[in-house]
């Protein structure tokens, strides 16, 4: 069974700083997807970024980038120039290739301080 571990229950940073959220996972599969989802107070799950395991290049989306270390089974999210609107719960998630059954971590509550 796949597992996803987020070891930082809470983090806070000053606005405009850079913050990195960590995530590790465990799987015996070689092809899979990894995701970071954001859940603001409105509770809607919003996809932040995704990574295909077969791609060596780290995914980036504007201020969001990942550091994907396949051998170490690590998938951290870096948020640059953090903004107040980034305040939310962030969930790391995993799914096997060809399957959208997501396994989520327990989340990191990120607070951006003005």
Partner 1 sequence: NAGVMQNPRHLVRRRGQEARLRCSPMKGHSHVYWYRQLPEEGLKFMVYLQKENIIDESGMPKERFSAEFPKEGPSILRIQQVVRGDSAAYFCASSPPRTTGELFFGEGSRLTVL
Footprint of partner 1 on this chain (CB under 8 A)?
A: 33, 35, 37, 42-47, 50, 52, 91, 95, 97-107
Q: Report, in Å, the least distance between residue 59 CB and partner 1.
A: 12
Q: Report, in Å, the least distance between residue 2 CB and partner 1.
A: 11
Q: Report, in Å, the least distance between residue 17 CB and partner 1.
A: 25
Of residues 19 and 53, the one with the C-beta less far from partner 1: 53
How many CA atoms are closer than 13 Å to the CA of 11, on its beta-carbon side? Answer: 24
Can you tell me the distance from the alpha carbon of 94 to that of 97, in angstroms, rounded to the nearest whole number?
10
Of residues 18 and 106, the one with the C-beta less far from partner 1: 106
Q: Please say whether the dihedral angle defined by the alpha carbons of residues 100, 101, 103 and 107, taken in this order, is positive or negative.
A: positive
Of residues 80 and 87, the one with the C-beta less far from partner 1: 87
* 23 closest CA partner among 12, 37, 13: 37
Of residues 23 and 79, the one with the C-beta less far from partner 1: 23
* 89 closest CA partner among 73, 65, 112: 112
89-102: string of b/e by CB count within 10 Å (b at 16+)?
bbbbbbbbeeeeeb
Q: Report, in Å, the least distance between residue 8 CB and partner 1.
A: 13
């Amino acid at each position: 069974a796949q597992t996803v571990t987020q070891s930082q229950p809470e983090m806070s940073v000053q606005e405009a700083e850079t913050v990195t959220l960590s995530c590790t996972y465990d799987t015996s599969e070689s092809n899979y997807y990894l995701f970071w989802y954001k859940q603001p107070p409105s509770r809607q799950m919003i996809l932040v970024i995704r990574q295909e395991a077969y791609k060596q290049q780290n995914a980036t989306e504007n201020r969001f980038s990942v550091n994907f270390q396949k051998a170490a089974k690590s998938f951290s999210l870096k948020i640059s120039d953090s903004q107040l609107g980034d305040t939310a719960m962030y969930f790391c998630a995993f799914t096997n290739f060809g399957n959208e059954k997501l396994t989520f971590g327990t989340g990191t509550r990120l607070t951006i301080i003005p």
